[in-house]
Amino acid sequence: MHSSAASSLVELIVSRLKQEDIVVEGVSPNFLTRYWPPALPEWSTKSVRDAFYASPKFPRLLKADAVKDTISRGLEAGTIAYVGKSADGTYEPFVYKRSLGSTDIELADDVYLIVRERADEYLAKKAAPLPIVPPIAGAGTSGTPTGSVAVPPVAPSVGGAGSAGTQSEPPPGAEITGFSWTGEISPQKWMNFYTKVLSRFATAGGLRLSVTVDVDPPGGTATSKVEETKAALRELGMSENVTTRRRGGA
């Protein structure tokens, strides 16, 4: 290659590396599944990113956000799922076969990707009916129904006092009736905030969220985007009362 084909030595080198697929703009979601570590049912997003800088099987990326773009495309195509793990082992959040912007994807040790087969298996288990146990002999004599019953899943016990290994009740007056928190969260941390902080309270009831959104981008925003926001709020059954600001106080 003649040096005149590129405006600088750096461009010449990068161009040659691109030809050899040593350096790439990005990769497809199928590339991740093809080189998925077989021992990992869940692959943390941070480890995925690090593989592009450590593994000889992976090309080097020209853009730092290329991994996020790959994950975003894989979610929409249903190639992979983007999940967080709750304390009870369930996946929350669980993003699969729907779009998620690359700016909303976090590269962290506690945010994971799973392959399509595992995601489908997880959804099937969640949709499965409760197990039916046979009646206990003689149960009808004590007033207990003798027919088969569906048994809901029992939460795992927490180690502590008690002969049965169950968690003992807190002493009277020690219960916390509730709490509240106010703070500011960056948009990129919202899903992690839900996973690490709110998910443990989401199913017990009594969780109320009040959200204040202040959008003030440099140069302002288009009226069409405000209307799209109102439409999205309507779809969610929420108030579409959006207070707009204009320059000059008009």
Domain range summary for the chain, segments of one domain joined by + = 9-127, 210-242
**Tens-level pLDDT at each residue, the chain (250 residues):** 555 555 677 777 667 666 665 667 778 899 999 999 988 899 999 999 998 888 888 888 878 788 999 999 999 999 999 999 888 888 988 999 998 988 899 999 999 999 999 999 999 988 877 666 565 555 444 444 444 445 455 444 444 444 444 455 556 655 777 888 888 887 767 777 777 787 777 777 788 888 888 888 888 888 888 888 888 888 777 888 888 888 765 5
- Per residue in 13-22, pLDDT (tens digit) is 667 666 665 6
**pTM for the whole thing?**
0.51
Which pairs with CB-CB distance under 8 Å and at least 24 residues apart come from 16-23?
17/60, 21/59, 22/59, 22/60, 23/59, 23/60, 23/61, 23/62
Measured CA distances, 166 to 70, 151, 172, 174, 200 (Å): 45, 19, 18, 18, 19
Q: Nearest CA to 79 among 36, 129, 136?
A: 36
